A and B are shown apart, each in its own frame.
Chain A
Amino acid sequence: MPRPEPAVGAVILTAIMTHLPPEQVRAQLDYLHALAPQSRFVVCHSGERGDFDRLDVPDAVFIDDPSMRGRDQDHSHNAIFTAVWERYARDDPAVSLVYFIEYDHLILSAEFEARLAALADRSPAGLFAKHAGPRNDTNWPHFARFRHDEPFNRFVAQLSRRDDPERRFGALGNGMLFRREALEAYCAVGEMPHAYVELVVPTVVYHLGFDVVDVDAISDLYAAVRWRPEYTVDEALAARAAGRVFVHPFKQLELLPTGQRAKSSTADSRG
């Protein structure tokens, strides 16, 4: 299948992590393709195998990771990262940035790739994420939870290229933007002790020698991205009117416009 020309200079691959039924996934893809026809989206489905089999879209991969069907605080995205890297990025050197979003990370503007590329231009970091930063001197519960986890501490100490192997990072698990080299290095690590995605990803990327940057430190791109509470439709519309590019969490996906309506709603927001 011929790939459309990239929307911006950097080629960005956007991976959508979802567990929703196939009808909802297809509706979301319809919205995204209408909104940003030149962007490339990959579906990472970690729900029921039967739902994935009925999905029937070209760029989709089933994530057979039981942790993704358990408690939020036990989720690992490693299987997702590896699948996307091996199937869609590794053999395509043009892909320079890989963007991982949850299904409830609503893209509001066709300009999102240009804005992500501009973000990546502002720092040589390997990973950009919301609320990314060191956690050692904080009350972050996941830092406290894994502080005395011997397998994880040993793993980081053996892996680290830093002078401070005990340093731990945290970040929101949604909306992580990887530079190609950082994702490649992360996936090359291979087997890791199980640890929560919001701890293990920024920590490992940092100890592999890449900088980890909080998007909020250098940009307003994630001004409407938060952990909770959920955005209502009115709030999402207000965010779009205010020029926001992303909203999270927004779960009322059944209300998304599709086809021409998605295009015209984007045009309205620009106008």
Chain B
Amino acid sequence: MKTTENVRALAGGIARNVKQLRRNLSELDSQPGPDPIVPAGMMRAILRTLGRPIVCSECGRTMFVALPVVWRGQIWMIGAYGHLFHVTFASSERIEFRHAQLDECPAPSRPWVP
């Protein structure tokens, strides 16, 4: 019984901390900074635990793994640095990504792309 309460308390604490972190991030200055601004080791750890595959909307291949974070009117794609891609709105609430380098994006019109 006590274990269950402890787990609930822990989960509640994590949720509060995440909420606070998001609030803090949203208050930070959003001036564009140099890319990438997260150290490489930390980046790998973040992406390994929290990253999501970003799939090309045209060919369906995974382009890279990233962690999208909403930050003061911007979406920070942690892990996107070094990967070139197009971004467009697919609907009023969905953004889609696709390869910008055609040699990575197979299509019937480009049978030479592996």
Residues of A in contact with B (beta carbons under 8 Å apart): 131, 133, 135, 137-141, 144, 214, 216-217, 219-220, 222-223, 226
**Closest CB pairs A-B (n = 3):** A220-B112, A216-B102, A216-B103
At the interface, is chain A mostly helix, strand, loop or mixed?
Answer: loop
Whether the Cβ atoms of A216 and B101 lie closer than 8 Å is yes
Whether the Cβ atoms of A141 and B35 lie closer than 8 Å is yes
Whether the Cβ atoms of B103 and A139 lie closer than 8 Å is no
Residues of B in contact with A (beta carbons under 8 Å apart): 32, 35, 77, 80-81, 83-88, 100-103, 109-110, 112-113
Whether the Cβ atoms of A137 and B84 lie closer than 8 Å is no
B81, B87, B109, B110: the one within 8 Å of A138 (CB): B87
Whether the Cβ atoms of B102 and A217 lie closer than 8 Å is yes
Residues from chain A with a CB closer than 8 A to the CB of B85 are 138-139
Residues from chain A with a CB closer than 8 A to the CB of B113 are 216
Chain A residue at minimum C-beta to C-beta distance from B102: A216
B32, B77, B80, B110: the one within 8 Å of A217 (CB): B110
If A216-B113, A217-B110, A223-B112 touch, does A140 touch B100 (CB 8 Å cutoff)?
yes
Q: Determine how close the nearest CB of chain A comes to the CB of B13; give it in whole angstroms.
A: 35
If A138-B100, A139-B77, A144-B32 touch, does A216 touch B87 (CB 8 Å cutoff)?
no
A219 vs B113: C-alpha distance in the bound complex, in angstroms?
10
Residues from chain B with a CB closer than 8 A to the CB of A222 are 103
Chain B residue at minimum C-beta to C-beta distance from A133: B100
A229 vs B80: C-alpha distance in the bound complex, in angstroms?
18
A228 vs B63: C-alpha distance in the bound complex, in angstroms?
17
B83, B88, B110: the one within 8 Å of A137 (CB): B88
Residues from chain A with a CB closer than 8 A to the CB of B32 are 144
Q: Determine how close the nearest CB of chain B comes to the CB of A85; give it in whole angstroms.
A: 29
Whether the Cβ atoms of A214 and B102 lie closer than 8 Å is yes
Q: Determine how close the nearest CB of chain B comes to the CB of A82; give it in whole angstroms.
A: 29
Residues from chain B with a CB closer than 8 A to the CB of A139 are 77, 80, 83-85, 87
**14 contacts across the A-B interface (CB closer than 8 A):** A131-B102, A133-B102, A137-B88, A139-B77, A139-B80, A139-B83, A140-B84, A141-B35, A214-B102, A216-B101, A216-B103, A217-B102, A223-B112, A226-B103
